[in-house]
Structure 1
């Protein structure tokens, strides 16, 4: 069945449209042909933003699951297997479920071609409508206004995580413009929970809320707030509750924010439309158990030693923009370490600013071309950039060479940080077997 699924996925990749073609008319028409499955999915929470979408979704997923609810989830991109994108009632979609869904969509796809992301989103809607669940978590792919997920008409709640510079060629060159694209997921008479924002982004989000009838914003620093406690937990407060929660399962101060944003969503919904969700013990359990691959994820030591002969901690993060680099730099400082950085990035990312932020915190930098990725920076070109910011840089042809390079420096006992792209993260996880990677607390 795996080979048959691969056949269908290759079919999706061979569509005649550009990989990114932001429009909604194709998607709306296709879904209408398919019987409008997006109107028949379980109640949905729609999540947009630049940084923290996946982690916020992970915390929500864990808390909702701890309540005993069956949760559908759609996220992108996948790291190792396509099945990661679509979770049906708490379980990754099986190859059989995916193949059956694609077979059922095949005729409509021939008549109404979609982009790859549109096709995967349509598949998610199609399967979500077929399988019973209590709630749906729907992550925006890019932007929001013209994203394929924005056919959703009546979500329970919309969420906007921190907005930063990314995909400027499609979303605009200023934070004000980018935030406007993301804020366009707001729907009339639907609450919108907003995380930390730069001033320009916050301005456009508030303007969009005023234009969208009946939207009530729940903004960090206004309607809700949080702070870290001395025990590493989160003290969350709003007009409806004040309470300390346990330390988040995901590493980094930025995960305090993402976990608190998820708490704000639970707070809003449990005090309005879903009072049965107000179960702090379940929220505690979700906070402590959430997992999300490639977000400061500590890789399995046995697997790393077996493959690469490395005996130091190895952390993996799929961040790829200056804001995420800033959060990683804060974590490095808090840990009191100087890691070996293995860096692989896409050519459309702000490599110079990422290096300017991270390089001073690192003992050594090894650059790597992300394998089998036509968008990737060449390792040699990446190394040339890196040498402007660090005096110990090596260009590597393979991951094992980059790992080996860390053992040839004076700081050979320092941990290793692999950073720069979710596609690099997927390659790393695939190389060590996704099932053996562990998300470290």
Structure 2
């Protein structure tokens, strides 16, 4: 496959600088200073941290703001198929992924300014975010944290319009700590003195207490889910409520009960940031919101064609026990309403809690096919991953690829049974591979 100009620039950087994370703000501050501090010339920023739900909150925020007629820059990470997905350039009528020549030029200028000094590629790509978003006019920026918060490269934003902290749970323990209160403290590092913070639904009261302690210490007004604002399903609708009143909305297009809380957090963040959005705009946003690779129904494509006829094929990049729990909850609800045999095709990387992820699906999934994750050097071999799934109480066997697993299902399927419900998941790297191979990359 022919590489684009931006991909060639980034690949060159990957040979020169570390791919991983080295949590510090010194290097990116030095680089941004050389670039004229573009992070100080941004439109108002909604800054989002959390373990799960960051991407959904960014997608809801963008949809709400665009439905209100605003232009919205959006930075998310990681990407699924192409680097360009990390940079959505705002424009009236809906933002577009950055053009390849524009991205290649920005990457080249940032790399030149760095002049070969020690830095991580993620820090360079974050500096690219600030360059792009400062050079293209827009009404608002939605910026997702890459890892943690306190020392994440995006945390050079000195005064966002609002900080948004989504659900916090165990993940990235090697970088953030092995207790939920340590992880919560890192996420709460995006809170700035006097800047309001919206706190999404937290399963852990310990995490919530840590975040609130930081907010109080910094005199940052806090708006807490289930205390200051609410979002829930009722009679096939979504109800949102805060001190300003109640909204009766369509259910979010993103599936799963947890998306009601994610949508509510985004509504609260947009309002707290000072943007006036009508109920009709929010309603419109609930029906148009998109977030690829997160409980995404694949309805066509090269891989879908390999599955047994009539199958439901779902793709989700969630990769920790918290994500496993919300995916399993949605599948269990579907199983009650529309019973089908449930199968899983899973690939994971070694830094994730594989046992904890699989445990959520015990008693729900009939069989797991484990596959390699080709896009990551840290992919767990399929035979080892099958053993982890079995230890969590699941029936499992290794396969060479997603396409092999789907083909085997098709060849061995009993036509007297309902067509299966198939979840492909366990890794954002795997989600990217699947979207590429299926021919349905994000746009």
Give the TM-score normalised by structure 1: 0.93
Question: In the TM superposition, what is the alpha-carbon distance from 1:373 to its structure 2 partner?
Answer: 2.0
Deviations, residues 162-216 of structure 1 (Å, cap 9, x unaligned): 0010001111111111000001101122110001111110111011011113x10
Distance 1:228 1:3, change over 3 A: closer
Kept after mapping to 1: 8 A contact 2:166/2:201: yes
Partner residue in 2 for 1:133: 138
Q: Distance in 2 between matches of 1:16 and 1:91?
A: 29
Match of 1:387 among 390, 409, 416: 390
Alpha-carbon distance in 2 for matches of 1:178, 1:123: 27
Separation (CA, whole Å) in 1 of partners of 2:255 and 2:200: 18
SS of residue matched to 1:153? coil
Mean Cα displacement is larger for which, 41-50 or 99-108? 99-108
- d(CA) in 1 for partners of 2:17, 2:161: 35
TM superposition shift of 1:267: 3.2
- Deviation of 1:404 after TM superposition, in Å, equals 2.2
| Equivalent residue number for residue 433 of structure 2 | 427
The alpha carbon displacement at 1:57 in A equals 0.5
Match of 1:219 in 2: 224
How many pairs are equivalent? 430
Contact preservation (8 Å) 2:73, 2:87: yes
**Offset of residue 405 of structure 1:** 3.1
Q: Does 1:108 align with 2:113?
A: yes
Runs of 4+ in structure 1 off by over 6 angstroms are: none
Backbone CA RMSD of aligned residues: 1.8
Shift of 1:268: 2.3
Structure 2: runs of 5+ lacking an equivalent = none
**Within-5 A mapping of 1:250-265:** 250-265=254-269
Give the aligned partner of residue 235 of structure 1. 239
Q: 2:351 aligns with which of 348, 351, 358?
A: 348
SS of 2:223 mapped into structure 1: strand
How many angstroms apart in 1 are the aligned matches of 2:199 and 2:394?
41
> Is this contact kept in 2: 1:340–1:406, CA < 8 A?
no
Q: C-alpha separation between the residues in 1 aligned to 2:255 and 2:345?
A: 19
Task: Quote how far apart the aligned CAs of 1:71 are.
Answer: 0.6
Distance in structure 2 (CA, Å) of the matches to 1:94 and 1:404: 36
Answering whether residue 424 of structure 2 is matched by residue 418 of structure 1, we say yes
Contact map agreement 1:301 1:313 (CA 8 A) in 2: no
Match in the other structure for 2:11: 10
Whole-Å separation in 2 of the counterparts to 1:123 and 1:159: 22
Q: Which residue of 2 aligns with 1:170?
A: 175
Distance 2:138 2:151 in 1: 27
Residues 1:209 and 2:236 aligned together: no
| Greater shift in the superposed pair: 97-106 or 197-206 | 97-106
Please show how residues 325-344 of structure 1 align to structure 2 within 5 Å: 325-336=324-335, 337=339, 338-344=341-347
Deviations 1:370-389 (A, max 9, x none): 12421111000011122234
Note the C-alpha offset of 1:227. Answer: 2.2
Partners of 2:162 and 2:198 within 8 A in 1: yes
Aligned-partner Cα distance in 2 for 1:289–1:123: 28
Alpha-carbon contact 2:293-2:431 (below 8 Å) kept: yes
Are residues 389 and 105 of structure 1, via their aligned partners in 2, closer, same or farther at CA, if it must alter by over 3 Å? Answer: closer
Structure 2 counterpart SS, 1:358: coil
Match of 2:193 in 1: 188
**Equivalent pair of 1:37/1:129 in contact (CA under 8 Å):** yes
Offset at residue 346 of structure 1 (A): 0.7
What does residue range 397-412 of structure 1 map to in structure 2 within 5 Å? 397-407=400-410, 408=412
Per the TM alignment, residue 220 of structure 1 is displaced from its structure 2 partner at its CA by: 0.6
- Cα offset, 1:278, TM superposition: 2.8
User: Are 2:170 and 1:158 aligned?
Assistant: no
SS at 1:183 equivalent = helix
CA-to-aligned-CA distance 1:299-325 (integer Å, 9 cap, x gap): 123544445565411000000011111
Q: 1:68 aligns to what?
A: 69
**TM-score normalised by the chain length of structure 2:** 0.93
Does residue 1:48 correspond to 2:49, yes or no? yes
